[in-house]
Amino acid sequence: MPLTTARTTWLATALTLLLAGASAAQEITGTYDIDPGPGWGRVRAEGADLVLEAVVDGRARPIARASAAPQGGRWLFRAGAATTRGVVGAVGDLLGGGGGGSGGAAATEVEVSRLGADCLRVVVREGGRVVLRERWSPREGAFAVTAVPPERAAFCPYRTEGPNTVTVPWQVEPADARAEVEVRVVDRTGAEVVRRALGQVDAAGAFTWDGRQRDGRCVDARRSPFRVTFTARRAGEAAESAPVEVVAVPRLDAAWVVSRVDGGAATSANKVVAHDAKVELIAVVRAVVAGARPEEPGRTERVVYVGVEGVSAVTLPQVGRVAVERWDEALWPALAPRWQEVRALGLHRAAYRVTQNLRRATTNGQFTNVVSNGPDEGKWIGRDTMEYEHVDRPAAPTLEHQAAPGTLRYRFDADLADPALALGDRAPGTPGRADPRPTTATEVRSGLLDGFSPDLGGAGTTIHRISRRGASAHPLLSHLEAYRGVPWLYGSLGQQVQEFVGYDCADLVFAAARRAGLTTRNQFTNADIMCKTYTKPVVATVRFEEGRAYDLKTGSPADLSAARPGDVVFFDWDGDGKWDHTTVLWDLPSGAVDLTSRLAWAGHGPLATDGFKLGALGLLAREGTRMIVRRF
């Protein structure tokens, strides 16, 4: 039989075995003579698949893998030219033909059926024309060594515990053979990293590798995959296994959320962004990819990320600007960030009780730093503990921040995406992970296991925050909406408001005015001082009687026509001459200031779940209420 026919014979075998399923594995596994040819073939089961190997000069080479079941007692396969060329090329290399062979330009149909108890009949057609009829016969007593793919091919050699080794089993055939076995490991370039004699052994064993090279250092994960090959020798014979690939996976050492706005620089800094800005959140991890384990010198670290294209550098806390590279899924299993939103609650959880300070407990669960009512109202009693919940976001390497105005915080944990490959070696995760301990009757917890700031009484700046402004053209109104989703906090501190932890009425308006550039003052204050010191008059003080506004001095109907959206409106409800509440004029549905005009304010009702409120002026203009309109 000419060499071309031999190639076609190999082609038939390879394509035939692509058809076999789990039931076929029981029927056609075994070792077969290929006549003529310099070697022989083997079909072995691997899970539900069949693997075809060719053994030439004692060296096993994989040809094809199959996972399809026979139809009506036969196997039928039709291959296009591209598939045919790929198989013929592999076979031609085995037989010394350098690739090519017949069948490269025409569709090929291979039909395989049983012939007697042990043999196979193979019929190959190209373009409908029969080009080969062949009989395959069992081969007995062939000397061979097989490397068995490990159950877990990924391992992390850069740590001291967990799956930091990989084990590759091997077996020698026939089963009663004793042989000298040697193992060799090469990287993806073919460079040798390990060669080790395992000595004279029985028919089966296993090689456990901790990722060490011959010089004692751990390999570089970027040289994955590594190929493990076994060579077996006995008197007058030698055999080499097909290589098995294993993957050294980097150790995840640290994690950060970074974001970029409208395609700009990626940084870990918290951000206040325009209403129409495109904000992308990117998962960044520091990975140990080479060198020694942590207790030894010489390790190599890289900052890698998953997600969007085109990120070459990021700015990180305590690190500065660093170059980054993408997590290479061609080398390593996919990395899957698990994203969460860290959302502030509007009230303490139901279990909230502070038995040692009943003055705070009288707030019905509202957050407060001060006594909220009675003769001591406003007296400082200490920073309250803000509370948070965690909401899982759909799994994705990159998230886009919500389009609605308001504030959200984000975090992620990272591990390998495939549970079968996951090493349990998660990055520490970014700050803000959920605290599983519940709030008790005597202790209030924030709901954050880390990322909580005692100075702020709430989420610290290490939890990545995006605050989106509203669409209003007026800068004060636009910046006010960035505080949506931030809870009411009576007696808030300036730092708490600036970091979007919580606010009361005066601090909300003053913080938004500062961000809008309407004031250069730094000292946060209360409604009365803000009215009298921080703003200038627009409309004189009025008093509401029977739903109408009258000038407090003259008693005549008040002229409110000078008021505009964005002006600051103060209320005095008890008539003591001190301003009790700060609001901002939002819009004028009737075209003029009246009871239907809408105001924005920090709300503190008993059922409030969000500090930011929009409502009609009539809700606040009670009988006898004094009101004044002023402007920054």
Q: Mind listing the pLDDT tens digit for each residue in 275-286? A: 999 999 998 988
Please count the structural domains in the chain: 4
> Whole-angstrom Cα distance, residue 132 to residue 506?
90
- Establish if 258 belongs to a structural domain: yes
Of 20-29, 65-74, 114-123, 236-245, the range with the lowest mean pLDDT is 20-29
Q: What is the mean pLDDT of residues 473-496?
A: 96
CATH number at residue 226: 2.60.40.4070
Helix (H) or strand (E) holding 529: helix 527-529
- Tell me the per-residue pLDDT of 591-631, one tens digit each, with 9 for 90 and over: 999 999 999 999 866 555 688 999 999 999 999 999 999 99
Domain co-membership, 203 together with 275: no
- Establish if 495 belongs to a structural domain: no
Strands 49-56, 612-616: pairing kind: unpaired
Contacts for 185 with CB less than 8 Å, ≥ 6 apart: 192, 193, 194, 195, 209, 226, 227, 228, 229
pLDDT at residue 416, as a whole number: 72
Residue 530 has what DSSP assignment?
I
- Establish if 544 belongs to a structural domain: yes
Q: Is the pLDDT of residue 546 over 70?
A: yes
Domain co-membership, 112 together with 201: no
The overall average pLDDT reported for the chain is 80
Q: DSSP for 209-256?
A: E-SB-TTSSBPPGGGPPEEEEEEEEETTEEEEPPPEEEEEPPEEEEEE
pLDDT at residue 159, as a whole number: 75
Q: In terms of residue numbers, what domain contains 556? A: 530-631
pLDDT at residue 331, as a whole number: 82
Domain co-membership, 241 together with 306: no
pLDDT at residue 351, as a whole number: 63
- Establish if 494 belongs to a structural domain: no
pLDDT at residue 431, as a whole number: 94
Domain co-membership, 21 together with 84: yes
- Establish if 482 belongs to a structural domain: no
> Whole-angstrom Cα distance, residue 318 to residue 269?
12
Q: What is the mean pLDDT of residues 581-588?
A: 97
Given 468, 500, 522, the domain boundary residue is: 468
pLDDT at residue 57, as a whole number: 61
More confident residue, 201 or 184: 184
CATH number at residue 31: 2.40.128
Residue 533 has what DSSP assignment?
I
> Whole-angstrom Cα distance, residue 404 to residue 466?
11
Domain co-membership, 256 together with 231: no
Domain co-membership, 106 together with 167: no
Domain co-membership, 537 together with 453: no
Q: What is the mean pLDDT of residues 418-430?
A: 62
Domain co-membership, 321 together with 442: yes
- Tell me the per-residue pLDDT of 159-195, one tens digit each, with 9 for 90 and over: 766 678 999 999 888 777 678 999 999 999 999 999 9
Given 441, 468, 495, the domain boundary residue is: 468
Token pair 């570089």 is found at 220
- Establish if 521 belongs to a structural domain: no
pLDDT at residue 216, as a whole number: 83
Q: Is the pLDDT of residue 309 over 70?
A: yes
Q: Is the pLDDT of residue 295 over 90?
A: no
Domain co-membership, 292 together with 238: no
pLDDT at residue 258, as a whole number: 94
- Establish if 380 belongs to a structural domain: no
pTM (predicted TM-score): 0.75
Domain co-membership, 238 together with 261: no
Residue type, 598: R
> Whole-angstrom Cα distance, residue 71 to residue 78?
14
Q: What are the Cα distances from residue 566, in Å, to 198, 423, 454, 559, 595? A: 82, 55, 34, 18, 17
Domain co-membership, 237 together with 90: no
**Burial level of 96, CB count in 10 A (0-12/13-18/19+)?**
exposed
CB 16 within 8 A of CB 77: yes
- Among residues 185, 21, 3, which one has the least CA distance to residue 97? 3
- Among residues 573, 578, 620, which one has the least CA distance to residue 599? 620
- Establish if 73 belongs to a structural domain: yes
- Tell me the per-residue pLDDT of 66-125, one tens digit each, with 9 for 90 and over: 554 666 677 655 443 333 333 333 333 433 333 333 334 455 666 667 777 777 776 767
Q: Is the pLDDT of residue 298 over 80?
A: no
Report residue 501 as tokens: 């932890």
Q: Is the pLDDT of residue 422 over 50?
A: yes
Q: What is the mean pLDDT of residues 555-577?
A: 96
CB 11 within 8 A of CB 84: yes
Domain co-membership, 168 together with 239: yes
pLDDT at residue 151, as a whole number: 80
Above pLDDT 90, what percent of the chain? 44
Alpha-carbon 391 to chain mean position: 14
How long is the chain? 632
Above pLDDT 70, what percent of the chain? 73
> Whole-angstrom Cα distance, residue 132 to residue 596?
91
Q: DSSP for 325-367?
A: EE--TTTSPPEEEEEEEEEE-SS--TT---TT-HHHHTTTT-E
Given 453, 468, 483, the domain boundary residue is: 468
> Whole-angstrom Cα distance, residue 207 to residue 195?
12
Of 213-222, 454-463, 535-544, the range with the lowest mean pLDDT is 213-222
CB 241 within 8 A of CB 229: yes
